[in-house]
Each structure stands twice: as C-alpha cells, then as structure tokens.
C-alpha cells in the first residue's frame, strides 16, 4: 500500500471514530455529556472538542503555516452548548481535512513541520500520527468512563470501521 493511501485510510478511521463518538453522545442526555468524569478533560463534550481541535490545529493551521490564526479560532469549551454546535465543529474541521488529504502527495509526508510549543523538527507524517494517537488516548478515557457506567463505548475497531461492518463484541 502506498504511504499516502495509508494516511488516507487512517484518517477515514479517525473520522469515523469521532462520528461514532458523537453518535454515542447523542444517546446521552446533555447533562450526562457535560458531566465531569474525572478524565483528563473532564466531560465527554470537552474531550470530543479537544480531539477534534487537535486534528484541526495541526492539519488546518500548523501544517499550512497559519499558526498565528489559531488563538482567534478557539472559543472556550463551554461555548459548545448543543449537539448542533458539536456537529458543526466536527464537520467544519473535517471539510478542510478531507480537502487536505485529497491533495496529499508522497513528498508532502516528508515536509518539516514545527509547532511553537514543541521543540525539534518533525515531519507531516509524524504530525498525522501524533493526531491519531492523541485521539486514541482520549478515546480510551471515554471508553473507561463508559465502562464505569456500564454503557457500551462507541465502535472503534479498525476492520469494522474501514469495511463498514457491524460486529458483535464478546
């Protein structure tokens, strides 16, 4: 598999996991969604917004050299007060990511990228993995919070997501 295809598949997975999380949250009351769970970011809402913002910051602002625009782009977490606001954030972010991925070329993956808060030099390929693993870490917190309440977490398995399969988890 070509490297660019790998990252496109990886981001198809990332997107679907976030969509599944949003769907899982829709089955909860808003009070449950904003409840502090004692996780790194507290609530399902705040964790979801953070995960989307990580992808947004890196792919839509840092990689194209628009870091200075980032602070103006970030309302407080508490400003997300409805399902519609969460969905809007997600769709607006992913619209740009989809466009970025459609234009991605193998040589782009070697592009040197820098974020002001992280020392060193890293590549676009590193950035795409950073976003993916950060999403996975925070998703793990929400999976644990779901299990603590005896509720099923969102679907997150690679194969069923990529191949649109419904599976039964034992």
Q: State the pTM of this model.
A: 0.93
Residue 75 structural domain: 3-150
User: What sign has the CA pseudo-torsion 74, 23, 137, 158?
Assistant: negative
pLDDT at 170 over 60: no
Q: Say whether pLDDT at 73 is over 80.
A: no
Average pLDDT, integer, range 98-121:
95
Q: Find the CATH number of the domain harbouring 58.
A: 1.20.120.450
For residue 1, pLDDT over 80 is answered with: no
Q: What does the pLDDT average to over 66-84? A: 89
28 found inside a domain: yes
Is the model's pLDDT at 164 over the cut of 90? no
Q: Is residue 114 included in any domain, yes or no?
A: yes
Q: How many domains does the chain have?
A: 1
Tell me, yes or no, whether 165 lies in a domain. no
Q: Is residue 157 part of a domain?
A: no
Residue 17 reports pLDDT greater than 90? yes
Report the distance separating Cα 163 and Cα 152, nearest Å. Answer: 21
Asked whether residue 103 is assigned to any structural domain, the reply reads: yes
Residue 169 placed within a domain: no
Q: Is residue 101 part of a domain?
A: yes
pLDDT at 122 over 80: yes
User: Domain for residue 40, yes or no?
Assistant: yes
């Amino acid at each position: 598999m070509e490297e660019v295809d790998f990252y496109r598949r990886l981001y198809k997975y990332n997107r679907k996991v976030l969509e599944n999380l949003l769907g899982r949250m829709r089955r909860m009351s808003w009070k449950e969604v904003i409840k502090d769970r004692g996780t790194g970011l507290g609530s399902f809402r705040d964790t979801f917004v953070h995960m989307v913002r990580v992808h947004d910051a890196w792919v839509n602002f840092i990689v194209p050299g628009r870091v200075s625009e980032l602070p103006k782009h970030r309302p407080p977490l508490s400003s997300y007060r409805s399902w519609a606001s969460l969905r809007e954030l997600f769709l607006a972010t992913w619209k740009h990511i989809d466009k970025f991925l459609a234009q991605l070329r193998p040589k782009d993956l070697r592009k040197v990228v820098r974020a002001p808060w992280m020392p060193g030099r890293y590549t676009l390929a590193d950035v795409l993995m950073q976003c993916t693993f950060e999403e996975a870490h925070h998703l793990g917190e929400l999976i644990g919070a779901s299990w603590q309440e005896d509720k099923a977490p969102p679907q997150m398995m690679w194969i069923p997501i990529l191949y649109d399969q419904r599976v039964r988890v034992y």
